[in-house]
Structure 1
Amino acid sequence: MSEDSLSEDTRLCKGKVLFPWHGRLGLLLIAVFWTLNWTLPGLRTHWGFFPLWLGYCLTVDGLVFLRRGDSLFMRDRKAYALLFLISMPGWWLFELLNLRLQNWVYLGMEEFSDLEYFLLSSLSFSTVIPAVFGTAELSGSFNWIRNLPNGPKVFPTRRNLIFFRSFRIGDVHPDADLAKVFLPLCLAQYFLPDRAMEPPIRSSITV
């Protein structure tokens, strides 16, 4: 990115500070809410999760800007804020699937009304996509990661196509692809046997 294409705020960050203001704000949020979350007793994660992970998102974005002179937040702040909104329904989809699979459970749900739980959970879920995208950009800023050798290549030869199609029950019947989605949900004890033998992960809202 050329210097002329940078916004005024971006030029200010590049010219006067090594670490942008939103990155420093992120570090402050992490320091405060990490400490509170591990020292205060009782209910706290329901209000401490979002600012803690918002701090992570801002810190990572600041590190990306520090390394590259560009970042998700600096490129388009409205689009960056939109990532938080998109993340909410994105993670609720996993929660919907988990109603059947029970891969994890939340302790302390009974302390909140359904509306309170929905709003607080949505706020927490909003940080998932910004955190993932920011971490991906930060990882991609390191040469040793970008220069990692490519893995083995699989070419679409007739033998390879036959081999991989042998694992697709969708080739047996057109409706079988739907079965691959719904059978684990309806009969998890048979189609996810390893999962059925393990207790769900317990994520605590209270501790």
Structure 2
Amino acid sequence: MKKLFLLLIWTSLSVSPFAFAHHSGTKTETKATQQLVEKAYKQANLSGVIDYKLFNDAFLAYKKTPDRKKSLLTIIDYSKPSTEKRFYVVDLDKMKLIFNTYVSHGVNSGKKTATKFSNVVNSRKTSLGTFLTDTTYYGSNGYSLRLDGLTSGVNDKARERYIVVHGADYANPSFIKKNGYLGRSWGCPALPQKLSREIIDTIKGGSVIYASA
């Protein structure tokens, strides 16, 4: 009778030992991930270069991308004006920042700073969210890198919009000196011509890009 009474109390509280195990496992996993983020941020000397919260969000997006094939994380910080180097490529194996340069935003996203973003075809605005790099090709903008938008409703029309990484003369630092802001694209993250091929060849084929504002 006593055993039955205890069983009824246990059942009424809807407590399961598995719930405790799952909760404990989740907490451990979260702590381990947080430690990994802190380690990568510190060893790659990103303090004062990339905002910690942005890096944390980008790293979590990287971890959640199942089809990634490279331990490279590209971060684009569109909260910064185009006159600042806001394009970063971090090698998470070597714990090292390997590229930091300028990147354009869409002509309808803003002038010096991007404030408007879109997933709409022909909007000529920048898209935010998580992207996965794919293959390269030669198009109207020269050597370019195809991107797949992985964030539903935010950038999943990247292919349809022809949002790609490419080099452009308007993305060169000389454009800033002449005009006071970086030139703008039709929504593509355009890079300085001298660096574009090297960066594209580094991040192509299944690396994660995280764009935030």
Indicate the structure with greater strand content. Answer: 2
TM-score by length of 2: 0.28
Higher RCO structure, 1 or 2 (CA under 8 Å, sep 6+)? 1
Indicate the structure with greater helix content. Answer: 1
